[in-house]
Structure 1
Amino acid sequence: MKHNKQRKAFSMLTAIVVIILMASVGAFVMSLSGKMVKTTTTQFQREQAMLLAKSYTEYAIMAVMSNKRNAPSNCLGNITGNALGYDITVNISYIGNIAEVGNCPNILFQAVVTPESPLNIIIDVYVRYQDLDGGNANWITYHKRTLQKI
């Protein structure tokens, strides 16, 4: 009779150990799954910021090429935008002959001696966004700088 009681106790202890082991494995899988989702979300947001920066760079080049720069009001200096939780700021600076840049407000260098030198612009694009999973997290900024001949 004593031998039978020991078997039941051993079976009960084995069942408890198996349940604890399975619960630990389940918790580990859930934790790993959550980390993978967080990493995927972060990567998606960064890729989206990079695509927005590229898009706004191309838009700035197109806008500078379509505007005449003969008056300060015609020179583009900044472009701002908002898209699905992203704040985009574009700063445009000009490098070129005084005849090309006129009285633009953001001239970096205008003492170009050769009149045939093309106009160059420096485009700084800042894309700011917050982590979707972070609640009140700090803003993350992606910066892209482009030098373009016009």
Structure 2
Amino acid sequence: MMLYTQQRKAFSMLTAVVVIVTMAVIAAFVTNLSGKTVKITTDQYRKEQAILYARSYTEYAIMAVSARDRTMECIDDINANIQGGIGTATNQNTGYRIRLRLSYIGNATITNCADTRELSITVSNPRTPLNIIVDAYVDYRDINNMNRVLTYHRRSLQKI
């Protein structure tokens, strides 16, 4: 009778060990999945921020070109740093660097623009308004690999 009781206690102990190991494995999977979810969400947030900055600075470029007297000098570049910029991998800045490159199309007094950014002044209709091509580049660092710089590029044709 005594032998049967000892075997029963050992079976309960083995069952408890198996349950604890199973729960530990499930907890490890849940933690791993949570970490991946946070990384994906952060990467998606940073990319969406870059897209919004590119759109916003494109609108800013349109306003800057519209307000500028183009008989004097054209705007070729607009640069900005948001939240400290991207810095270097050693100082680990997590901001954004925005670079806009503007090119002009049309005959609306763009003779003083740099030749490299003046795409065409011979248009079929002399009343054609001034158009600009805005190349927006938004650079930011990958949170998980600070040596990696990600760049979002947006090109748009805008009528002025």
In the alignment, structure 2 segments of 5+ residues that lack a partner are: 84-94
1:13 corresponds to: 14
Q: RMSD in angstroms over aligned alpha carbons?
A: 1.1
* Deviation by residue 1:98-118 (Cα, 9 ceiling, x = unmatched): x52112011011222432111
1:119 corresponds to: 130
1:66 corresponds to: 67
Range that drifts further, 136-145 or 79-88? 136-145
Structure with greater proportional helix content? 1
Aligned pairs for 1:52-63 (under 5 A) are: 52-63=53-64
2:27 corresponds to: 26
For residues 67 and 131 of structure 1, the distance between their equivalents in structure 2, rounded to whole angstroms, comes to 36
For residues 78 and 96 of structure 2, the distance between their equivalents in structure 1, rounded to whole angstroms, comes to 14
After TM superposition, give the deviation of residue 45 of structure 1 in Å. 0.3
Give TM-score, length-normalised by structure 2.
Answer: 0.87
Give TM-score, length-normalised by structure 1.
Answer: 0.93
2:158 corresponds to: 148
After TM superposition, give the deviation of residue 128 of structure 1 in Å. 0.5
For residues 140 and 79 of structure 1, the distance between their equivalents in structure 2, rounded to whole angstroms, comes to 19
Q: Hey, which bits of structure 1, 4+ residues long, moved more than 6 A?
A: none
* Deviation by residue 1:115-143 (Cα, 9 ceiling, x = unmatched): 211111000000000122x1424111111
Range that drifts further, 104-113 or 62-71? 104-113
